[in-house]
Each structure stands twice: as structure tokens, then as C-alpha cells.
């Protein structure tokens, strides 16, 4: 783990930008060490892994779910998750609402948009999303609250392209804010920026950067 890099990133954040420390694939001990150092917001992308870590780590950690979420896994995170960044369908949102009702809570969510020039990244198009927001079914969901949008830029060295994609996500945010969420003060989050592109994301208006490898080191996916 690179505490110096962590401190450097924290010190560089403008007011209004929060850091999600992405701890996926990393052991609970690493999270505990960063917690000791003052970090409270952690991001995971597997529901069972998040559940296992939640059970053994301090209860005041804010757990953010950032990866693709299958409907049958929502139950593992619904009791405690602070923010789900990756809502990409009405079916998923309905399941989150259902599990939120069971747990007698309201779950904050972000709408994930497909902004990258890659087939593999999940997310809505603007048309898909507005169709959902206009639907009667969406209006009925009382136990989810939409706090903003999330997106991942293309994995490329072309910084101009990355900037355009983040700019596009900011435009989507503004459009939705005006059309659907002008009366919702909680709709204020723009989750964008990872280890390789977070400085550009911040320049383009990010409020939540999601940083993993710069802090925790490279991930070993084979473990
Ligand atoms: C893994 C992951 C991150 C962090 O990636 P790094 O490049 O290690 O900072 C951020 N967002 C999502 C959605 C991820 O899956």
C-alpha cells in the first residue's frame, strides 16, 4: 500500500471532491490500515466480498458498490451499502428498491452511463435512461434515491478523448438535473475518474473519484 500517494491525492483534492478508496481484491487488513489513517469511504465491485469485509471491519465505514451488480446479489449489500454507483437498468433499480423496503431504508444510487468507446463497459444511453425516468414504474420506487451519475472513460492514452467523455457525462448530469431532479438537492454527484484519469475527471467536474491501484498497488486477479 502506498500511504504517501494516498496523502498526496487527498491533499490535491479540491473542496467538494471525495475519494472512494477502491479496495476490491485487497485484504481486510489493507482496508483497516487505511481506515486507521483516516479514510472512511471504500469501494468494492463484488457483493459477497463486500459483505465479508463489512462484517469484519469498523461499522462506520461507508461502503460504495461500484461494479456491475446482478439482481440476485443485491441482498448481500442492501442492509448497509451507502451508495450504489452502478445502476444500469430499471430491473436492477426495482430489485434495489425491493431489498431496501425489506431493510426499512432508502438506498442512494447513481445512474451509470456508457460514455466509453468500448463494448465492454456497462451503462445506460441517455435515451434509455430518460425512458426509465419517464416510466410509471420508476415513479413508484420510493426506497431508492437518485444522487447523480457515474461513468468510466475509455482506457486510452488519448487524453483529449478521455476529457471529451467526462465532459459528455457532465452534460448528461446537467440535462437530467434540469429535466428530472431540479427539486432534489441530493442529485449532486458525478462519479468519474480512476487512477489513470482522475486529474482530468476533477477538471471536468467530478465529485467522487474512485481510486484503487494508485493507493493499494496493482491487483492480483488470480487470487
Ligand atoms: C477497479 C475500479 C476502479 C479503480 O480502478 P484503478 O484504476 O485501480 O484506480 C474504479 N472504478 C471502477 C468501476 C472499478 O471497477
In which region does residue 212 sit, left (phi positive, over 0), alpha (psi from -120 to 50) or beta (all else)?
Answer: alpha
> Which pLDDT does position 35 carry in this prediction?
98
SS3 at position 179: helix
How far apart (Å, rounded) are the C-alpha atoms in residues 169 and 152? 9
- Say if ligand 1 is within 6 A of residue 51 CB: no
From ligand 1's centre to the CA of 194, what distance in Å?
6
Q: Which atom of ligand 1 is nearest to the CA of 198?
A: 9
CA dihedral 25, 27, 33, 35 (to 10 degrees): 60
Determine contact, residues 108/84, Cβ cutoff 8 Å.
Answer: yes
Strands 18-22 and 83-87, how do they pair? unpaired
State residue 130's pLDDT score: 98
* Beta strands 41-44; 208-211: pairing state: unpaired
The atom number, within ligand 1, closest to the CA of 22 reads: 4
Cα–Cα distances (Å) from 138 to 89, 90, 135, 144, 199, in that order, read 11, 7, 5, 10, 34
Q: Could you report the per-residue pLDDT of 113-151, keeping only the tens digit for each? A: 999 988 776 899 999 999 999 999 999 999 999 999 999
- Residue 222: pLDDT band (50, 70, 90) is low
Note the pLDDT of residue 159: 97
pLDDT value for 128: 97
Rounded-to-integer distance, Cα 68 and Cα 205, Å: 23
Supply the residue whose CA is at minimum distance from atom 7 of ligand 1.
195
Q: Provide the pLDDT for residue 122.
A: 86
Per the prediction, the chain carries an average pLDDT of 96
Does the C-beta of 195 come closer than 6 Å to ligand 1? yes
Distance 65 CA to ligand 1 centre (A): 11
Q: Give the atom of ligand 1 at the shortest distance from the alpha carbon of 24.
A: 1
Q: Does ligand 1 come within 6 angstroms of the Cβ of 45?
A: yes
Cα–Cα distance, 129 to 135 (Å, whole number): 10
Query: Which DSSP category does 125 fall into?
Result: -
Q: Which residues contact 218 (CB under 8 A, 6 or more apart)?
A: none
43 Cα to the center of ligand 1, angstroms:
9
How does residue 26 score in pLDDT terms, banded at 50, 70 and 90? very high
Q: What is the pLDDT of residue 119?
A: 78
Whole-number Å distance between alpha carbons of 164 and 117? 11
Q: Is the CB of 210 under 6 A from ligand 1?
A: yes
22 Cβ below 6 A of ligand 1: yes
What's the gap in Å between 104 CA and the centre of ligand 1? 30
Q: Does residue 194 line the site of ligand 1, with CB under 6 A? A: yes
Atom of ligand 1 nearest to the CA of 150: 13
Amino acid at each position: 500500500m502506498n500511504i504517501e500517494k494516498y496523502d498526496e491525492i487527498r491533499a490535491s483534492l479540491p473542496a467538494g471532491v471525495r475519494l472512494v478508496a477502491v479496495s476490491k481484491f485487497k485484504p481486510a487488513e489493507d482496508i483497516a490500515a487505511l481506515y486507521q489513517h483516516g479514510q472512511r469511504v471504500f469501494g468494492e465491485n463484488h457483493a459477497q466480498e463486500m459483505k465479508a469485509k463489512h462484517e469484519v471491519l469498523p461499522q462506520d465505514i461507508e461502503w460504495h458498490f461500484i461494479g456491475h451488480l446482478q439482481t440476485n446479489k443485491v441482498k448481500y449489500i442492501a442492509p448497509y451499502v451507502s451508495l450504489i454507483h452502478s445502476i444500469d437498468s430499471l430491473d436492477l433499480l426495482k430489485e434495489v428498491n425491493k431489498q431496501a423496503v425489506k431493510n426499512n431504508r432508502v438506498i442512494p444510487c447513481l445512474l451509470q452511463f456508457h460514455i466509453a468507446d468500448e463494448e465492454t463497459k456497462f451503462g445506460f444511453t441517455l435515451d434509455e435512461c430518460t425512458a426509465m425516468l419517464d416510466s410509471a414504474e420508476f415513479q413508484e420506487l420510493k426506497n431508492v434515491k437518485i444522487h447523480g451519475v457515474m461513468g468510466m472513460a475509455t482506457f486510452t492514452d488519448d487524453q483529449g478523448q478521455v476529457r471529451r467523455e467526462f465532459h459528455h457525462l457532465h452534460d448528461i448530469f446537467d440535462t437530467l438535473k434540469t429535466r428530472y431532479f431540479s427539486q432534489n438537492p441530493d442529485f449532486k454527484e458525478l462519479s468519474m475518474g480512476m487512477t489513470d484519469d482522475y486529474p482530468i475527471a476533477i477538471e471536468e467536474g467530478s465529485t467522487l473519484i474512485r481510486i484503487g491501484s494508485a493507493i493499494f498497488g496493482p491487483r492480483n486477479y488470480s487470487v
